[in-house]
Amino acid sequence: MSVFDTIKNRRSIGKMTPEQPTYQQIERILEAATHAPNHHHVEPWKFIVLTGKAREQLGAVMAESLAARLETTTSEKAQAALNKERNKLLRSPVVIVVAAEQPDRPEVLEIENIEAVAAAVQNMLLTAEELGLACMWRTGSAAYDPHVKKWLGLTPHEHIVAFVYLGFPAISRVERIPTHFQKKTTWLGWEA
């Protein structure tokens, strides 16, 4: 399949079976990520692969962090939200946290590190598509929570760019019909 076809066919799939992708499949996805463009050759990505109990452990930290942000934790609504947060990572057998490092040189811009990591995430999604896996890029408030970052071994200044959910599809994909690119494009100096 051409890169163009893979790009067009890729769909985010939120519902996955419990079947775990192989170690080799995950390695291939991570390798693809490391081929993303990045300025000053800083390779600003970090990956944390969560499977099995690690998803439950981080889910507990996410729920604790959410509880600290809520005004009350005793209401039915709050309990439902906390329960949802605790179980979020169990929606797929593997979750890869993808983070952007903080620049350590003046010429390296924080936004460019984040952009490079976003490109790495897209490489991961496309590779998952090519491997026939289900994949979904998610964030949510946990991605910006300092306690979550700490548990993952990240500093507060590093950015969680994605929770990449990975598994095998449990639902069929629906067609994507994006806004036509001409509506988003200005052509300057182009002589057809």
Ligand X SMILES: Cc1cc2nc3c(=O)[nH]c(=O)nc-3n(C[C@H](O)[C@H](O)[C@H](O)COP(=O)(O)O)c2cc1C
Compute the least distance from the CB of residue 170 to ligand X, in Å. 15
Number of residues engaging ligand X in binding (CB under 6 A): 8
Q: Which is nearer to ligand X, 22 or 139 (CB)?
A: 139
CB 96 within 8 A of CB 26: yes
Residues with Cβ < 8 Å from 87, sequence gap 6 or more? 59
CB 99 within 8 A of CB 48: yes
Compute the least distance from the CB of residue 100 to ligand X, in Å. 12
Binding mask 78-117 for ligand X (x = CB under 6 A): ----------------------------------------
In angstroms, the CA 147 to CA 73 distance is: 18
What part of residues 132-171 is at the interface with ligand X (CB under 6 A)? Answer: 136-140
Q: Which is nearer to ligand X, 9 or 41 (CB)?
A: 9
In angstroms, the CA 72 to CA 79 distance is: 9
Q: Which residues of 55-74 are buried (b: 16+ CB within 10 A; e: fewer)?
A: beebbebbbbbbbeeeeeee
Compute the least distance from the CB of residue 183 to ligand X, in Å. 17
What part of residues 11-70 is at the interface with ligand X (CB under 6 A)? Answer: 11-12
Give the binding site for ligand X (CB under 6 A).
Answer: 11-12, 136-140, 176
